Every structure is written in structure tokens, then in C-alpha cells.
């Protein structure tokens, strides 16, 4: 939270602000999660802020503030959430620096040990009376080295502790990066990370001459399902569908939440025929399960998904690839939904 709002919550007005935020959340059927509470405290406290205006617009339009909507609002309007991009960039640079420092420390420790061992054994290698002066010099150097090594014992211990601390810091940075690249509702890769990885995978494919296939998947009639059962149940459906897509689209594939009820899978080094097999597994598994409300065991029916995929041509841009996969998805929708369609070749699209 911003410093001003944190100060407000610590003041005598804090209880009143918190109470009003919770009342408005309850009135609008918003779950009392930490992120949602933060959003609505900002909403109550900031008056005519851009965040408040956007929430007012959503409420006036009758649109519910679901977990996914809340995450999107937080990412756009809350100061801490907007820091994610900067955290990722700074974390990458710092992590590389930490690795460099760690390697330098380990190399210095190894060199010191090897140098001391060489001096300690040098005198033993020399024999004969004529080597006396040289042996004396080596002995003096060895004594000096042992003295320095003794004085450096504490320093080496501190360096070892520093190395361990750097390792812990790198692990923390890696966790921050994973969190910033993950969709909060589904735990799949988020859109920002997906866009970055798609560009990287296409570059690697061009260098290695390998295929890449992109698929976009959409839950059929999701709005109607939300209207019938409520958006909290809708979020549970999103998690269920994401779990199937994430399992069958696991590494080396990349499964992501593309936006709303849309998902995407990148298939590196896999052609369209291979992708089609996986997409059909996903579609059949999702449609075959009867869903139930957890709290009452009430039958919710089934959900289906439509999918479209495009096999990338060498040198094709990511924008073109996404457009063709999206066109294939809409072909599935227009053909009756609950099916998988392939994009036409790029040449056919250009000629149309």
C-alpha cells in the first residue's frame, strides 16, 4: 500500500476505513482476500483516483469484481504491483552479479589453498647442500604464507557465510521472478511472460530449423455459465480448466493464461499434428467431467473448450502466428464449438 494509506490505517480513522472497505466488498460480493482488501481500501480512501473511477465504471456496468479482475486492477493501478516489471529486470541483473561474486570468492579460496600447498611441498622437492639458499627462501615464503592463511581464517569463514547468503538471496530473487511471471488465479504463466517466451522460442526455432506450434484455447459459453452460477464458481471452473491445460501442456511446452477465459500453449519443436493430439486430449478430458459445487455437491453440468492452432513457418512473426492461431480458434467457435481446428497455411491467409 502507499505510505499515505498505510498511515491512515494506523490512525484513529483506520478502523472506519477498514470497516467501510469490507462493507462495500460484501455489498458487491467481493471475496475478502488480502489483495481485494488492499484494492478496496484504496477505493475508499482515494476518492476520484483512476482506480476508483475504473471500479465505479465496472460496478455501473454490472460487471463483478472477480479474482481475475482484481488481479488485473492491482497490476494496473497499485504501486507495488506496477513494480513487478522493474523487480524482474533488477532481479536478473542482480542475480547475475551475485553469481559472478560467488564464483570469484570460490576461485580465490581455491587459489589460496593451492598456492599454500605448493609452497609447503616445494622445500621437500629440493635436495642437496647446493640448494640450501633456495630452500631457505622457500621455507620463509611458506612460513609467511601459513601466517597469512592463519590470519585469513576468519575472513574465509566470513566469505563462506557470504557465499551462503548470496545463494539464499538468489533463491529469493528466483521466487520473486516466478511469482511475477505467474497468473494469480490459475498458477499458469501470465500473459507478459508468455509473450516473452514466445519470442524467444521462435528465435531459437529459426536458429535450429525446428517447428513451433501455437494453440489458443477458449472456454465455450463461459459468460453464460457465470451468469447462471455466479462468478466465484466461474473462477473455480477457470482453475479446473487451467489444471488440465497445465498438466498436458507442461514443460518443455509452455501453458499460459492468455486473458479472461482464454489460454495458450506453445509447442516447441512440435508440429501441428503433434499439437492436435494434445489439444484433443485436453478437450476430451475437460468435457468428460461432471462438475459439482464444492459446498453443496450440486451438479453444475459440464464445460467444453474450443481450440485453434497454427504451425509456424520459418521466419514468421509472432504477431502473424498469434493471428493465425486465433483465426483457427474462431473457426472452431463458428463450426459449433467443442472442437479443435487448424489454421490454414500462411500463403492461403495472404491470398484470401
From 38, 71, 261, 311, the catalytic residue: 261
Instruction: Report d(CA 66, CA 74) in Å as an integer.
Output: 12
Place of cell 599454500: 116
Instruction: Report d(CA 183, CA 198) in Å as an integer.
Output: 17
Instruction: Report d(CA 21, CA 33) in Å as an integer.
Output: 12
Burial bucket for residue 227 (CB in 10 Å: 0-12, 13-18, 19+): exposed
Clarify whether 63 is annotated catalytic: no
Torsion over CA: 226, 228, 230, 235 (sign): negative
| 41 DSSP 8-state letter | H
What are the percentages of helix, strand and coil residues in the chain, rounded to 5? 65, 10, 20
Burial bucket for residue 209 (CB in 10 Å: 0-12, 13-18, 19+): exposed
Type and span of the H or E element at 188:
none
In order of 107, 108, 214, the CA distances from 111 in angstroms are 6, 5, 50
In order of 100, 169, 342, 346, 347, the CA distances from 351 in angstroms are 53, 54, 17, 9, 6
Contacts of 314 (CB under 8 A, 6+ apart): 205, 206, 209
Contacts of 25 (CB under 8 A, 6+ apart): 31, 32, 36, 37, 40
End-to-end CA distance of the chain: 52
Active site residues: 261
Amino acid at each position: 500500500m502507499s505510505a499515505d494509506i498505510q498511515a491512515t490505517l494506523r490512525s484513529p480513522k483506520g478502523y472506519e476505513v477498514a470497516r467501510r472497505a469490507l462493507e462495500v466488498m460484501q455489498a458487491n460480493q467481493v471475496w475478502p482476500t488480502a489483495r481485494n482488501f488492499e484494492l478496496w481500501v484504496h477505493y475508499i480512501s482515494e476518492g476520484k483516483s483512476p482506480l476508483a473511477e475504473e471500479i465505479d465504471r465496472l460496478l455501473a456496468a454490472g460487471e463483478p469484481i472477480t479474482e481475475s479482475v482484481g488481479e488485473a486492477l492491482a497490476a494496473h493501478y497499485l504501486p507495488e504491483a506496477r513494480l513487478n516489471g522493474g523487480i524482474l529486470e533488477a532481479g536478473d541483473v542482480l542475480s547475475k552479479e551475485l553469481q559472478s561474486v560467488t564464483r570469484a570468492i570460490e576461485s580465490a579460496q581455491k587459489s589460496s589453498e593451492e598456492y599454500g600447498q605448493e609452497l609447503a611441498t616445494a622445500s621437500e622437492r629440493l635436495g642437496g647442500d647446493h640448494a640450501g639458499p633456495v630452500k631457505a627462501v622457500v621455507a620463509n615464503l611458506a612460513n609467511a604464507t601459513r601466517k597469512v592463511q592463519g590470519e585469513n581464517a576468519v575472513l574465509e569463514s566470513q566469505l563462506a557465510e557470504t557465499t551462503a547468503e548470496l545463494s539464499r538471496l538468489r533463491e529469493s530473487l528466483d521466487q520473486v521472478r516466478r511469482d511475477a511471471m505467474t497468473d494469480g488465479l490459475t498458477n499458469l504463466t501470465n500473459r507478459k511472460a508468455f509473450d516473452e517466451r514466445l519470442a524467444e522460442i521462435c528465435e531459437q526455432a529459426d536458429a535450429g530449423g525446428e517447428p513451433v506450434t501455437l494453440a489458443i484455447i477458449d472456454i465455450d459459453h463461459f459468460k453464460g455459465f457465470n451468469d447462471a452460477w455466479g462468478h466465484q464458481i466461474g473462477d473455480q471452473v477457470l482453475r479446473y480448466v487451467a489444471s488440465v491445460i497445465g498438466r498436458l501442456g507442461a514443460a518443455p511446452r509452455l501453458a499460459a493464461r492468455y486473458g479472461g477465459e482464454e489460454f495458450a500453449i506453445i509447442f516447441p519443436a512440435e508440429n501441428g499434428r503433434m499439437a492436435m493430439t494434445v489439444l484433443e486430449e485436453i478437450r476430451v478430458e475437460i468435457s468428460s467431467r461432471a462438475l459439482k459445487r464444492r459446498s453443496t455437491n450440486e451438479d453444475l453440468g459440464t464445460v467444453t473448450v474450443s481450440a485453434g492452432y497454427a504451425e509456424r513457418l520459418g521466419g514468421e512473426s509472432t504477431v502473424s502466428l498469434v493471428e493465425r492461431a486465433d483465426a483457427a480458434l474462431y473457426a472452431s467457435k463458428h463450426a459449433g464449438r467443442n472442437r479443435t481446428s487448424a489454421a490454414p497455411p500462411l500463403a492461403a491467409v495472404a491470398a484470401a
